[in-house]
Amino acid sequence: MYKKSFILFLFLLLYGCTQLLEEENAGKNIFVGDDGCVYCHTNKERLKLLAPEEDTGGGGGGGG
Amino acid sequence: MPPMAPWEKVYIKLPRSGNLADLDHHFEELSCVDCHGGDKTQNNNKEKAHKGLIQDPSEFTTVDGKVSNSCAGEECHTSTAEEYHNSLHQQLWGERKYVALRSGVSSFDQCPQSTRDGFNGECTSCHATCGDCHISIPNSAGKGLVNDHRFQKTPNMEKNCTACHGSRVAFDFYGEEGLEERQGDVHFKTLYMDCFDCHNQSEMHTRVTDTDNTDRYTYDLRPSCFDCHPADSIATINLYHTMHMDNMTCYVCHSQKYNNCSACHVKGEWKTDPDYQENNPHEDFKIGLNPLPAHRDFSDVKYAVVRHIPIAPDTYENWGSASANLPDYNTIPTWKFASPHSIQRWTPRTDASPCYNNCHTKEGFGKPENKEIFLFRAEIQEKWPDEVQANDPVVVDGNLPDGWE
């Protein structure tokens, strides 16, 4: 029982750490180079700021 | 499918390495601007960065008389793109064929210029670039990257296929909670099959040669029920098959109710015409005379399931005066051959005791109320009076056994 709990604890700890790392990287341009496309399109916060709400894409799916 | 937020549609989550090339091997040699254009040095100016942007590089364009797209670059997918550009899925040859026939000509190229322009501007606008299947949700279904910007060899059934084929195939195939006759298709619900188990790469990609005479049912690469259920092995497997297999399509017994359409396909006033909207879409199941004697599998079959399609005599009126009239409208049924993706072994037709109770209409050898599953002229006269003559070859009047009508 203790062994299983410990393994579960380790798993949750590992998962938590990866989440923290991802959150830390989310605001950065971690792509090495001068590619502005990647700079924006891999940055969630920046896209939320720049993508206009009215740009809903196209119509809905319909056909056969 | 829930709609994506605008930012979500274009967001790429990098792999842990932070290297785009680890996301997909295409990025080992190609940068974004190689396909999409724009200016990659403009980190802080959205307008400048997007100047000259090609939103969907896989859309086919004609340059110097040659049709191409970014996928067909040298040493890339040149032959596949060339094949696909002439495929049924890309060019809608079947739809072109019926536009031509109703226009009174034998080939789409002979249709009035306004009809060709209208068709190419509206009907083909959603069918379908390489990216619509392999990278993003199709343009016509709202756009958005399916799996970051990975180039997926196999499309995503929900986000690609049924994003477009929604109102008919998706509802039939997936089923709808709470509706007795919409239990979904046994191939999906029980056998966990997806679109690609039947509709393979060849069917999607291969060029059509006889473009004036090919549609989805005459196409030689289309899937067939008999691919998995050989006719010889099931012909005498039960009384239903022994009595009816030579005379009916499989769908007559094994499909559930399905959506029928009367509106929506063409922009303009007709789209919102209340007379047509009143019955659109409507769930129904109708057996008519087989309208497709050229069908690859069911050429000798008398009865088929038929589906109402959205075409009226003035459907293309808003494309121009030359398109306003369809001279041969009355020669092509508006109830067409249907292959609903809602197959079940036990349906309201087969799950009956005695076996004829839910189909046959003769009193004592069935029930007169079963007439509602057959397509009679009177129903068309009542609901779509302009379409009576067009459907003469499909209605069952005068073609049922004695005492059934």
Q: Which residues of B263-280 are buried (b: 16+ CB within 10 A; e: fewer)?
A: bbbbeeebbeeeebeeeb
- Count of domains forming chain A: 1
pLDDT tens across B187-201, in order?
Answer: 999 999 999 999 999
Asked if residue A59 belongs to a domain, the reply is no
A1, part of any domain = no
Residue A30 lies in a domain: yes
Residue B392 lies inside a defined structural domain of this protein: no
Say if the Cβ atoms of A47 and B11 lie within 8 Å. Answer: yes
pLDDT of residue B273: 64
Of B18, B36, B166, nearest to A62 by CB-CB distance is B166
Q: Is B168 on the interface with A (CB under 8 A)?
A: yes
Residue A24, chain B, CB below 8 Å: the answer is: no
Specify whether B234 is located in the same domain as B353.
yes
The answer to whether residues B367 and B222 belong to one domain is: yes
Say how far apart CA B230 and CA B236 lie, in whole Å. 12
* pLDDT above 90 (res B338): yes
Query: What is the token pair recorded at B217?
Result: 């049912």
Out of A34-43, B286-295, B304-313, B391-400, pick the least confident: A34-43
**Residue B27 domain boundaries:** 1-54
Hey, of A22, A41, A53, which one would you mutate to test binding to chain B, going by the most B CBs within 10 A of its CB?
A41
- Is the Cβ–Cβ distance between B219 and B88 less than 8 Å? yes
Facing residue for B144 by CB, picked from A42, A47, A57: A57
**Enclosing domain of residue A36:** 20-51
B140 touches chain A (CB under 8 A): yes
Give the B window 21-50 contacts with A, CB below 8 Å: 31-33, 36, 38-43, 46, 49
Query: What's the rounded mean pLDDT across residues B225-254?
Result: 95
Q: pTM score, two decimals? A: 0.85
Closest-CA residue to B74 (of B127, B33, B30): B30
Q: Name the minimum distance, in Å, from the CA of B136 to any CA of chain A.
A: 12
- Kindly report the nearest CA distance between residue A16 and chain B, in angstroms: 15
Domains in chain B, number: 2
pLDDT exceeds cutoff 90 at B81: yes
Are B111 and B99 in contact by the 8 Å Cβ rule? The answer is yes
DSSP β-ladder status, B365-366 and B361-362: antiparallel
A10 part of a folded domain? no
Taking the C-alpha atoms of residue A1 and residue A10, their distance in angstroms, rounded to an integer, is 14
3-state secondary structure of B374: strand
Nearest CA in chain A to B38: A37
A10 contacts: CB under 8 Å, gap ≥ 6: none
Structure tokens of B246?
């030579």
Chain A residues within an 8 Å CB radius of B162: 61
Residue B162, CB half-sphere, CA atoms under 13 Å: how many? Answer: 19
Q: By the CB < 8 Å criterion, does A47 face chain B?
A: yes
pLDDT at A58 over 80: no
Which 3 state secondary structure label does DSSP give B282?
strand
Strands (E) across B333-394 are located at: 335-337, 361-362, 365-366
| Range B170-176 average pLDDT | 90
Q: Per-residue pLDDT averaged across B321-327, rounded?
A: 92
Quick check: B40 and A37 CB within 8 A?
Answer: yes
CA distance A3 to chain B (A): 30
Is residue B285 included in any domain, yes or no?
yes
**Local confidence band at A23 (pLDDT 50, 70, 90 cut-offs):** low
Helix (H, G, I), strand (E, B) or coil at B173: helix
Contact assignment for B143 to A58 by CB distance below 8 Å: yes
Does B25 share its domain with B98?
Answer: no
Q: Is residue B212 a contact partner of residue B106, using CB atoms and an 8 Å limit?
A: yes
- Distance in Å, alpha carbon of B144 to nearest chain A alpha carbon: 8
Q: How many CB pairs below 8 Å do chains A and B form together?
A: 110
Please answer yes or no on whether B7 and A51 come within 8 Å at the CB atom: yes
Better pLDDT: B128 or A22: B128
Q: What confidence score (pLDDT) does residue B299 get? A: 84
Task: Provide the token pair at B6.
Answer: 């605008």
Contact between chains at A35 and B40 (C-beta distance less than 8 A): yes
For the segment B211-222, what is each residue's pLDDT rounded down to a tens digit? 999 999 999 999
Q: How far apart are CA B115 and CA B99, in angstroms?
A: 9
- What pLDDT, on the 0 to 100 scale, is given for residue A34? 55
User: What pLDDT, on a 0 to 100 scale, did the predictor assign at position B141?
Assistant: 85
Q: Round to whole Å and give the CA distance between B349 and B356.
A: 8
Q: Is A51 on the interface with B (CB under 8 A)?
A: yes
**Same structural domain, B41 and B81:** no
B158 and B27 share a domain?
A: no
Q: Tell whether A4 lies on the interface with B, counting CB pairs under 8 A.
A: no
Shared domain check, B109 and B178: yes
Same domain, B279 and B333: yes
Distance between CA atoms of residues B377 and B396, nearest Å: 8
- What is the pLDDT confidence band of residue A63, given thresholds at 50, 70 and 90? very low
Residues B82 and B4 in one domain: no
Flag the least confident range among B70-84, B247-261, B271-285, B319-333: B271-285
* Nearby residues of B286 by Cβ (< 8 Å), 6 or more positions away: B260, B305, B306, B307, B308, B335, B373, B374, B375
